[in-house]
């Protein structure tokens, strides 16, 4: 209540669980032959929000793309049960499983910086774990505080001419751990502006984790700053000049008054997180999103009648 205000906190408690009364989404099973796979990371504090993000994506995308859900930190039986019930074909990767795969992978390559930062900053797992555990030719990444309002065709495109490019959401600032001038002088990289990793599409081989290991030795990262993970993505795709941006209809903005009819998705990051409860979820409800799921009108996205947990 101190952070969100009384009414927002009350509405969050009231609105977020409504997604649990909707049918599960039966996605395709992730395999090494998958052309495109969705990856999302959540934790105990935002997994309900993650279900909203995923169901709004699949409802509007109309395609049962394979799904990997990474649960960072300590899980609970309720969290695990709900995720498995609502996405029964998804690969659910809990922290212990991720550690057993990713940590030996990093140790074998003597990537001690990535190991250290992965333990200290949970967001770095979005870089290391997604790339190491990815099997598909392309991956789509979005955060749990994203909601979709139209078909995100730019994000899900499998156009082969885009294979060498990384598609990012455009931020309203340069939210990096070092300046553009520092990146140019110390790494010889023209760091592209305003890259945000709240929504991403790329081929995993666009990112070289060996380079990320080297970047972390720079003094700019010494304080374990919160934008470390985003800066690593930005440095590496800027190095290969493979950056492209989603259009403005994928919004990340401090604006409180926006025309939702023009949006395909909105990322409610940082100070706008409260707007997810105040505006985003109410917008979806007013548009009949929950009722459409319950009526089975999102069958193209793989929805089916559901167990309640």
Q: Return the pLDDT at 7.
A: 76
pLDDT exceeds cutoff 80 at 109: yes
CATH number at residue 83: 3.90.550.10
Please check whether residue 158 lies inside any domain of the structure: yes
CA angle (92 as vertex; 90, 94 as ends), nearest 5: 175
Decide: residue 96, CB within 10 A, 0-12 exposed, 13-18 middle, 19+ buried. exposed
Domain containing residue 28: 6-301
Instruction: Phi first, then psi: give them for residue 100, nearest 5 degrees.
Output: -65, -25
Please check whether residue 153 lies inside any domain of the structure: yes
For 5-40, what is each residue's pLDDT tens digit? 767 778 878 899 999 999 999 999 999 889 999 999
Please check whether residue 309 lies inside any domain of the structure: no
Please check whether residue 306 lies inside any domain of the structure: no
Q: What 3-state DSSP class applies to 296?
A: coil
Please check whether residue 38 lies inside any domain of the structure: yes
User: How many domains does the chain fold into?
Assistant: 1
CA distance readout (Å), 117 to 72, 94, 180, 233: 14, 19, 22, 14
Q: How far apart are CA 184 and CA 188, in angstroms?
A: 4
Please check whether residue 1 lies inside any domain of the structure: no
pLDDT band for 297, please (50, 70, 90 cuts). low
């Amino acid at each position: 209540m101190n952070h969100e205000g009384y009414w927002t906190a009350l509405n969050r408690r009231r609105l977020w669980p409504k997604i649990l009364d909707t049918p599960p989404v039966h996605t395709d099973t992730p395999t090494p032959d998958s052309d495109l796979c969705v990856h999302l990371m959540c934790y105990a504090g935002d997994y309900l929000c993650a279900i909203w993000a995923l169901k709004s994506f699949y409802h509007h995308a109309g395609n049962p793309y394979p799904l990997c859900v990474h649960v960072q930190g300590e899980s609970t039986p309720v969290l695990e049960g709900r995720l498995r019930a609502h996405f029964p074909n998804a690969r659910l990767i809990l922290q212990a499983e991720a550690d057993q795969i990713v940590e030996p992978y990093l140790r074998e390559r003597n990537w001690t910086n990535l190991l250290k930062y992965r333990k200290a900053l949970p967001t770095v797992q979005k870089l290391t774990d997604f790339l190491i555990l990815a099997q598909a030719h392309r991956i789509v990444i979005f955060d749990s505080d994203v909601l979709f309002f139209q078909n995100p065709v730019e994000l899900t495109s499998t156009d082969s001419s885009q294979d060498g490019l990384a598609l990012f959401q455009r931020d309203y600032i340069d939210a990096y751990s070092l300046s553009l001038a520092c990146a140019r002088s110390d790494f010889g990289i023209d760091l592209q502006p305003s890259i945000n990793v709240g929504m991403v599409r790329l081929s995993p081989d666009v990112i070289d984790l060996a380079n990320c290991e080297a970047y972390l030795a720079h003094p700019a990262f010494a304080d374990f700053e919160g934008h470390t993970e985003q800066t690593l993505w930005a440095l590496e795709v800027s190095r290969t000049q493979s950056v492209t941006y989603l259009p403005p209809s994928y919004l990340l903005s401090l604006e409180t008054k926006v025309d939702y009819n023009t949006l395909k998705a909105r990322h409610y990051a940082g100070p706008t997180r409260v707007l997810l409860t105040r505006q985003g979820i109410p917008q979806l409800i007013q548009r009949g999103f929950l009722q459409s799921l319950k009526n089975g009108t999102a069958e193209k996205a793989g929805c089916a009648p559901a167990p309640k947990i």
